Structure 1
Amino acid sequence: MLKKIDKTAFMGHGPIQTLYPGYTISGSDSGIGSIGRIDHAYVRGKQHIAMHPHVNDEILSYFRAGKVEHIDSEGYKDTITSTRLMLMKAGKLFYHEELIDGQSEPFEGLQIFIRPGAKNLKPEVTFQNLGQRDSENTWRLLASPTSQTTLRFSSQSWLYDNNVSAGTITELPEMPDNDLTALLYIYQGSVQVNGHIDLEKNEALIVVKEVISIKTGTGAEMVLFYTAEHGSIFKDGMFSGNKASFKD
């Protein structure tokens, strides 16, 4: 199965646009497996997001421009940038605030809400320094449920990125498990899949049991998710949980 999610699926009219990827394929779940929600933010200048709670959410901050100062109820204080990622595992209850600095350059990035593998896990914050901002023409594994990565999800979830050059043809990386669903998200640029599915910025493709070929004429920054849809997942997190009843 191949199912395109176009940019009209995003909700919100301010600097943060929200995608519930399950709405395009399900009337009963706003997410796809462990992928609960994706926020794509674009902020000019400075913005303060006041201290607020999370319950049973795992939030990966994938920021590509600008920087954010993170402060939380567990005593962590650090800065997230395009080469320093953060995974915040909220568990039972967790508070944090963010100071967004998009003054020297506009801030842009994703906050990715992953559903945990179980309810009320211990809160934890992990940072990961990247050797460089971009993974050029190679799928880079950023987070997983295994010891392969510093950033570790509690559910069966994998996250990759790839900055592909103009004129490049690529495929998805090998799945860690054969029974996974893929979600390919276009962060910047545009691609064509299998010669007939056009995707541009803020669009995505759900891939189930298909081999795909990805071609770009202009270059593209892509983010890829693998999720075990029927794995052990807690679907009632504050932000990552099922919001199907609130679609309208």
Structure 2
Amino acid sequence: MLTKIDNAIKYGKQHGGFGIQILYPGLIRPELHDTGFSSIGRIDHARITPGTLIPMHPHKDDEILTYLRSGKVKHLDSQKNTDLISNQRLMVMNAGANFYHEERVLEEGGVLEGLQIFIRPETAGLPPQVQFYQLPETYSINHWRKIAGKGDDYPLQIRSNTHLMDLRLEKGEEILLPETPSENSAFLFYVFDGKINVNETIALVTGESALIEKESPTFHAVETSDIVLFITLTNGLYFDGGMYSGNLH
């Protein structure tokens, strides 16, 4: 099954220099009665002006990946971590039982654009922790790169059967989905920026995505495009009561 998720399904929020478009991927399947899809809870596509402070605030039972493509952020949290996040330095906050953080968008980095991704953990009440990873290269050209997931081959760890990859697909190039060990895998193919044709029948533009189950489509870059790929197990274990990743129904 191949389902397009267009930008009309998103919720927009704007407050001063802070703007986000929120995707609850489960809304495309209302019969499931879940705003998330399996372990993928919520995806925020953010554009934030330099100098904006997101003050200290809580998270609980969310696995949160901060994935930037532009801008620089100074991070501070209740685990006593202070660090800089950028398009080459990514962060996962495994919020667990109790976690607070603040983020300041630095003037030197210009306008921030990136994703704040809320993944569901396997269970509630896990110990909080924070991870950082320095990408060897800003972009992975025409091949899938492992970013975050469960297993030693992923540099950032997520505490559920969820995996994230990315790539930059150059204009005119084609790619297939990566192989997975389970026939119960489902994919969410998110176009961060660009234009992609799927099987030459579905067009996806910036901010749009496709939910893919039990198919292996071909993706063709109409223009050079940045992609984030989510892989989840439809029969996997997850906790759907997280503060942001949880089911809103």
Structures share fold, TM-score greater than 0.5 = yes
The TM-score range, normalised by the shorter chain, is over 0.9
| Percent of residue pairs bearing the same amino acid type | 41
The AA in structure 1 aligned to 2:120 is R
Matched, 1:108 2:78: no
Match among 21, 25, 36 for residue 25 of structure 2: 21
Match of 2:149 in 1: 144
Aligned CA RMSD, in angstroms, stands at 1.1
Match of 2:7 in 1: 7
3-state secondary structure, aligned to 1:230: coil
Quote the offset at 1:169 in angstroms.
1.2
Q: Please tell me whether the aligned partners of residues 43 and 102 of structure 1 are also in contact (alpha carbons under 8 angstroms).
A: no
Quote the offset at 1:121 in angstroms.
0.3
Return the alpha-carbon distance in structure 2 between the equivalents of residues 160 and 75 of structure 1.
28
Matched, 1:33 2:38: yes
Q: Name segments (4+ residues, structure 1) moved above 2 Å.
A: 101-105
After TM superposition, the score normalised by the length of structure 1 is: 0.96
Q: Please tell me whether the aligned partners of residues 34 and 233 of structure 1 are also in contact (alpha carbons under 8 angstroms).
A: yes
- Structure 1 residue runs of 5 or longer lacking an equivalent are none
After TM superposition, the score normalised by the length of structure 2 is: 0.95
3-state secondary structure, aligned to 1:18: strand
Return the alpha-carbon distance in structure 1 between the equivalents of residues 5 and 228 of structure 2.
14
- Structure 2 residue runs of 5 or longer lacking an equivalent are none
3-state secondary structure, aligned to 1:143: strand
Match of 2:91 in 1: 86
Return the alpha-carbon distance in structure 2 between the equivalents of residues 123 and 79 of structure 1.
19
Q: How many correspondences in the alignment? A: 244
3-state secondary structure, aligned to 1:206: strand
Return the alpha-carbon distance in structure 1 between the equivalents of residues 158 and 183 of structure 2.
19
Q: Deviations over 1:161-220 (max 9, x none)?
A: 010111111111112422111000000000000111000000000000001000112111
1:61-80 aligned within 5 A: 61-80=66-85
Quote the offset at 1:93 in angstroms.
0.9
Quote the offset at 1:104 in angstroms.
4.5
Q: Please tell me whether the aligned partners of residues 46 and 103 of structure 1 are also in contact (alpha carbons under 8 angstroms).
A: no
1:34-53 aligned within 5 A: 34-53=39-58
